[in-house]
Amino acid sequence: MGKLTGKVALVTGAARGLGRVYALRLAQLGADVGIIDVNLRSYADYEAEAAVMTADTTMDEIRALGVKSAGAEADVSNKDQLFTAVKAIADALGSIDIVVCNAGGGSGAPTENSPALMDFEQFDLVVRRNLYGTAHTIAAVAPMMKQKRWGRIITVASHMGIEAGARGTYAHYSTSKAGIRHLTMAAANELGAYNITVNCIAPGYISTGRMDQSFQKRGVERFEAVTSLGRLGRPEDCAGTIEFFATDLADFVTGVTIDVTGGTVGKLGY
């Protein structure tokens, strides 16, 4: 039996990339895992992402590990869509014990969207996608966890939510991710009385199919040089932190953010 046998987990934004890796790690630990994504086959948009798939969807990959899975398509920034999708997952797999609020993303080029030159349509899009999406997900699963008086909520911020870039660019993204860190602490204070922990992971430069295309375009060496460990992160580096937060290893840990950056903090030069 795995550490999470008998538990039901939900991962948003898990059709590809880090979300997919998180979902597979939870399944390997014995959990039944539900997936919510705006497109359950979004990996097809990225050649490198498609290359690592071992089945048609993440749900199929999870089932191949011998546990149950279900999927639903929804935009986490839309509260009604998200709540409907969460209900569908719970109806299929059972009440949700663990959630990873992974869905999100940026918009525009990394050299754009400084505070004085903000595209406010993009600002609204990114804040709704990241901060609202996380808040919607917490609100959707919390009643189930409160009822059973047990739960693990894991939010996903970024090293860019810890500090601003030297030139103030991509501020819509960094601001939304900083908000997630604070939302995590607030939720931990609220839900601790129900034996629900709420913690946050803040990845740095992690090598996934989509991000590798960006790294290569701008020069991989540039990103490796700003980490103390001299390399890009691997998805498994982040999955280990998800495992820690989701299992009894972190029973007495709540309201914290773990930065999985290889020592990037303090070195953002863009």
Residues labelled as active-site residues? 173
213 contacts: CB under 8 Å, gap ≥ 6: 46, 48
Q: Are 21 and 11 in contact (CB under 8 A)?
A: no
- Of 194, 203, 151, 197, the C-alpha closest to 9 is 151
Phi and psi at 131, nearest 5°, equal -75, -50
Q: At what angle do helices 235-246 and 17-28 cross, to 10 degrees?
A: 50
Report DSSP state, residue 11.
E
**268 to 110, 133, 241: CA distances (angstroms):** 12, 26, 23
Query: If you write DSSP's letter for every residue of 144-177 in order, what string do you get?
Result: HHHHHT-EEEEEE--GGGTS--TT--SHHHHHHH
- Of 148, 30, 60, the C-alpha closest to 96 is 148
Q: Are 8 and 92 in contact (CB under 8 A)?
A: no
What's the CA gap between 218 and 228, in Å, rounded? 19
